[in-house]
Amino acid sequence: MLRWLSIAGAIVAVDQITKFAVVASLALHESVAVAPFFNLVLVYNRGAAFSFLAGASGWQTMFFIAIALIAAMWIVYLLKRYPREPLFCLALTLVLAGAVGNVIDRIRFGAVVDFLDFHAFGWHWPAFNIADSAITCGALLLLWDALRTRGTEPARPDRPA
């Protein structure tokens, strides 16, 4: 369990360091081209993924903090319960790190700091951050783990393999 919590802590640290650097370096909505398809930009997201509920009157901040803290407690319980499931634990660790990283932002700023802006042909993907990336990768690994384990039933002895 300590290994998983250490990994989560390292991801949270990288997430917070990058956010600190962006907040210290860029003005709100300032964009710096890094590559023809990638910019750094400072935006604050008061909502959830894709700015869901960003326009709400402010109640959503405490709501998202509460959901993330409940999820973090559940994840820690699952990490303790399934220590011999490395893919499952890695996936949970990534989700935990992302949730904690974004909760820190919500507590500090009342919003999540987003700064990674990928774009092509004039279309911009919504800006995101390291914590969001960790959550997304963790969710994909959870899906992969669920699909992978369902197909691993041993062959019945009366049937050829």
Which token pair is 2?
A: 């300590």
Mean pLDDT of 29-52: 85
Domain that holds residue 27: 2-148
Q: In terms of DSSP H, where are the helices of the chain?
A: 2-25, 59-81, 86-109, 130-150
The percentage of residues in the chain with a pLDDT greater than 70, rounded to a whole number, is 83
Provide the annotated active-site residues. Answer: 114, 132
Instruction: Note the pLDDT of residue 132.
Output: 95
Question: Which band of pLDDT confidence, cut at 50, 70 and 90, is reported for residue 62?
Answer: confident
Question: Which band of pLDDT confidence, cut at 50, 70 and 90, is reported for residue 48?
Answer: low
Question: Which band of pLDDT confidence, cut at 50, 70 and 90, is reported for residue 72?
Answer: very high
Instruction: Note the pLDDT of residue 60.
Output: 64
Q: How high is the mean pLDDT of the chain?
A: 88
Mean pLDDT of 126-139: 96
Instruction: Note the pLDDT of residue 51.
Output: 54
Mean pLDDT of 63-72: 90
Question: Which band of pLDDT confidence, cut at 50, 70 and 90, is reported for residue 91?
Answer: very high
* 159 has a pLDDT exceeding 90: no
* 17 has a pLDDT exceeding 80: yes
Mean pLDDT of 82-91: 96
Instruction: Note the pLDDT of residue 52.
Output: 46
Pairing of strands 38-45, 112-120: antiparallel
- Indicate the burial class of 27 (C-beta count within 10 angstroms; 0-12, 13-18, 19 or more): exposed
Query: 102 or 155, which is more confident?
Result: 102
State how many domains the chain has.
1
